Structure 1
Amino acid sequence: MSTEDLVSRSVELRRRLAATLAATGDVRTQPWRRAVEAVPREAFLAAFFRPIEGSVETLWEPVTADLVDGSERLELIYRDETWVTQLDRTVTPEQSPPAVAGVPTSSSTMPGLVVRMLEELRVEDGSNVLEIGTGTGYSTALLSERLGGGLVTSVEYDPDVAARAAAALRAGGYAPTLVVGDGLGGYPTGAPYDRVIATCSVHHLPAAWIEQVRPGGTILTTLTGWLDASAGLVRVEATGAGRAIGRFLGTTDSFMPARPHDRPPLPDDVFDWISESPVDERPTAIGPEVLDQTVDWTAAYVAQLAIPDAQPIGISEGDGPMISYLIDVRGRAFAALIPQADLSWRVRTAGSFDLWARVETALANWRAAGEPSVESFELRITPDAQKVCFPGSEQLLLPGPEAVDRGGPDREGRGGCR
């Protein structure tokens, strides 16, 4: 297919994508539909990885101009799919062998989610927007197409990823403000912003975002934790003086974590610490299935809110059963869930607090409230705490920066949501 034919086909595929996203409800307004039709995704996705089907471990095949025909690449690019663009923070498709293992660390998010988030951001003509996570630059281009580059600031943590996005944006005629750095600190030079949107998941909302949004402005992001239970999008409104309030949107969307908010590696001596710690053991009515979002998505998220700093790991001791461990390195606490022959569970706990008791209490409160859905959960943010509340129950705390640095207010989670 000639270059001219590829350009013509790209226009057709953009229109088809826009029509598909309008039919699914991801595109809801004409300005964003026009942006999808105008921005060529291939300009920001010259090469990517696709998973190799049937491999025992996940292997990735590079899709580049040298390996895959231009027409086939276009068809793949305009699917409503997420394509991985980097593995293990360094490996790009151009550098890759025909099959490579690795952990995705950068990607081009599926267009449907990108545009749905942009719609949920509720921008208006003249809105000044801060984007956290430039990535390939596709969403930055959509924002620039809709608002004009002068109203868009985008921050990318990875210098190599940022350089590729900058080149693609310049080539496309877009001129947003591009910043290389830690997006969790925002970009005060461009503040105040009317909107902040994050294309990465965060452990808590950074104080800088709240401070840099004007009162009445909106922040849209995804909140996750180290148990990998995601509640999807949350939208909050800044109310001034480091405060904000909002609700979850009830989606199951998730993003790769912001790198500074990713789970820390377990220390080398963690298993020595576990084996040497004095433990308490007791029966529990709740087993590790509560942490599985495929079993009960909301319950798993409530459990994660109760112990957001805990990481899961399974250990089999000799010929014994698999034991599910939850380890909170910051709090120096762990819980081990041990299956019994009669299908019941016992829990061993050790450390500065009873980790599993927090899960039991949070789930009991949630069930007593009638098991409300995530859409009814409210996120309240002050300079001292970030609280997730559901109707008729006690507050659950997220580990904001103050909580991490000072031990935080009310780490036992007492008190109501007021």
Structure 2
Amino acid sequence: MPPDDLSMAAELRQRLAAQLAAGDWLRSPEWRAAVESVPRHEFLPRFYVELLDPGVTAWAPISPEIVQPAEWLAIAYSDQTLVTQFDERPLDWSSSEPVSNASPTSSSTLPSLVVRMLEDLDVHDGMTVLELGTGTGYSTALLCHRLGDRHVTSVETDADVARRARNALASCGYYPRLVTEDGRHGYVGPAPYDRTIATYGVRNVPPAWIAQTRPDGLIVTTLRGWMRSLGLVRLTASGDGRAEGPFIAADTSFMIARQQAAPSNMGVIPAPDEGKARETPYGPELLTMPDSGFVAQVVMPNARYFTMRDDDGTERTYVLDTENDSFAVLTAQAGGGWTVRQGGPHALWDDLEKAMALWHAAGSPPATGFGVTVTPDRQQVWLGSPDGPSWALPR
């Protein structure tokens, strides 16, 4: 890279660190030094940014061969998530054409979320860290800068993604222990680790992560479902297969673990006369609002929803549980209000209304008013305290 571009990259790192510190994402001098030192552009030689054209979901490629180097560097050091893979397939990086009709499957997460998680990991000199989800390798490099290569183990499930990360880390002089396998199994190797961090979402906390984290060690990960992300949770391991802790942030935007992705089939739409109908005080907005949507995801972990018009033109919202074929169908009433029609083994909307009553009685707290308890037998999301109302995470 020409000296002028190197100088520009160094200046952009300083600006990024200042921006993250001003937003209170970056709080400690050690992590600020890492952000100011690790060249994010080395981990993003090529990437995609989402186009903002209305009605179109597409991503445009960015590289120093396609745009001016200054533009490439400016985006690489912006606080945004940058996509590096679609549909788990290698990309044709020689093409300058946008990608559409595809799903992102690997990326470099927005730096503010990365450093927030690293700060919440509460590491100290000499600690060992297990990272699940190497991705581009940028967060791995930050860990190496802070703790030293020999204290960092990182696991990536995708061999092509892992190869690119390994090369990028080596180009920056970082040589942590890199493993290519299903991260849900962790990596026994040098376990137990002082800290465990996952850079993708999981539907439940893998028991291996708890078993491989030392007693009183911390696990920071995102829990999510098929409808939405639940949020970032920080658990303290207790050494007997148990871990417990609060949600510390909501709606953290990590992709779900590939092995836990939702089935491609949304489920069977119930017949118009199937199920029992009644009035309900809630409409589909209950599923989309930030805090009530969190509750809905906790209560209906295997459900997804969509809205469509029937043959008669009536718009209905379908909530379908793909695990047991339970369903709830919401229809607006002519004079206002809503009707719900339910069927299957579980009355989904009844369960949600009961949970909403408990949530309102507790003062309608955000996600940070909830927490998680994991034991060898079950995993529960609780409201208020471990003794409060609780709901099971999917096994």
TM-score range, shorter chain: over 0.9
* Match 1:289 to one of 269, 285, 291: 285
What amino acid sits opposite 1:333 in the alignment? S
Q: Distance in 2 between matches of 1:330 and 1:252?
A: 24
> What's 2:191 paired with?
191
Q: Distance in 1 between matches of 2:106 and 2:305?
A: 23
Q: Distance in 1 between matches of 2:161 and 2:77?
A: 21
* Match 2:393 to one of 378, 389, 398: 398
Q: Distance in 2 between matches of 1:51 and 1:395?
A: 38
Question: In the TM superposition, what is the alpha-carbon distance from 1:97 to its structure 2 partner?
Answer: 4.5
> What's 1:244 paired with?
243
Q: Distance in 1 between matches of 2:252 and 2:314?
A: 33
Question: In the TM superposition, what is the alpha-carbon distance from 1:276 to its structure 2 partner?
Answer: 9.1
* Match 1:270 to one of 268, 271, 287: 268
What amino acid sits opposite 1:396 in the alignment? W
Look up the SS of the partner of 1:246 in the other structure. Answer: strand
Higher mean C-alpha deviation, range 388-397 or range 29-38: 388-397
Q: Distance in 1 between matches of 2:119 and 2:342?
A: 45
Scaled by the length of structure 1, the TM-score of the pair is: 0.90
Q: How many pairs align? A: 392
What amino acid sits opposite 1:107 in the alignment? S
Question: Does residue 202 of structure 2 align to residue 202 of structure 1?
Answer: yes
Q: How does 1:128-277 map to 2 (within 5 A)?
A: 128-228=128-228, 230-266=229-265, 270-271=268-269, 274-275=270-271
Q: Distance in 2 between matches of 1:56 and 1:375?
A: 34
Q: Which runs of 4+ in 1 moved over 4 A?
A: none
Q: Distance in 1 between matches of 2:140 and 2:360?
A: 41
Instruction: Check conservation: 1:135, 1:161, Cα contact below 8 A.
Output: yes
Q: How does 1:292-311 map to 2 (within 5 A)?
A: 292-293=288-289, 297-311=290-304
Question: Does residue 365 of structure 2 align to residue 382 of structure 1?
Answer: no
What do residues 192-227 of structure 1 show as CA deviations (whole Å, max 9, x unaligned)? 111111111111111111111111000001111112
Instruction: Check conservation: 1:144, 1:174, Cα contact below 8 A.
Output: yes
Q: Distance in 2 between matches of 1:68 and 1:386?
A: 48
What do residues 375-395 of structure 1 show as CA deviations (whole Å, max 9, x unaligned)? 221211111111111138421
Instruction: Check conservation: 1:48, 1:92, Cα contact below 8 A.
Output: no
Instruction: Check conservation: 2:90, 2:160, Cα contact below 8 A.
Output: no
**Structure 1 segments unaligned to the other structure (5+ residues):** 401-418
What do residues 112-162 of structure 1 show as CA deviations (whole Å, max 9, x unaligned)? 111111011001111111111111000000001111111111111111111
Higher mean C-alpha deviation, range 131-140 or range 363-372: 363-372
Look up the SS of the partner of 2:249 in the other structure. Answer: coil
Q: Distance in 2 between matches of 1:380 and 1:224?
A: 15
Scaled by the length of structure 2, the TM-score of the pair is: 0.95
Instruction: Check conservation: 1:303, 1:359, Cα contact below 8 A.
Output: yes
Instruction: Check conservation: 2:241, 2:376, Cα contact below 8 A.
Output: yes
Q: Distance in 2 between matches of 1:144 and 1:128?
A: 10
> What's 1:5 paired with?
4
What amino acid sits opposite 1:292 in the alignment? T
Instruction: Check conservation: 2:121, 2:197, Cα contact below 8 A.
Output: yes
**Structure 2 segments unaligned to the other structure (5+ residues):** none
Tell me how large the CA RMSD over aligned residues is. 1.8
Instruction: Check conservation: 2:233, 2:371, Cα contact below 8 A.
Output: no
* Match 1:366 to one of 351, 359, 365: 359
Q: Distance in 2 between matches of 1:278 and 1:53?
A: 41
Question: Does residue 79 of structure 2 align to residue 80 of structure 1?
Answer: yes
Q: Distance in 2 between matches of 1:373 and 1:13?
A: 35
Higher mean C-alpha deviation, range 51-60 or range 73-82: 51-60
What amino acid sits opposite 2:86 in the alignment? L
Question: Does residue 333 of structure 2 align to residue 333 of structure 1?
Answer: no
> What's 1:317 paired with?
310
Q: Distance in 2 between matches of 1:372 and 1:51?
A: 33
Instruction: Check conservation: 1:47, 1:93, Cα contact below 8 A.
Output: no
Question: In the TM superposition, what is the alpha-carbon distance from 1:61 to its structure 2 partner?
Answer: 1.2
> What's 1:52 paired with?
51
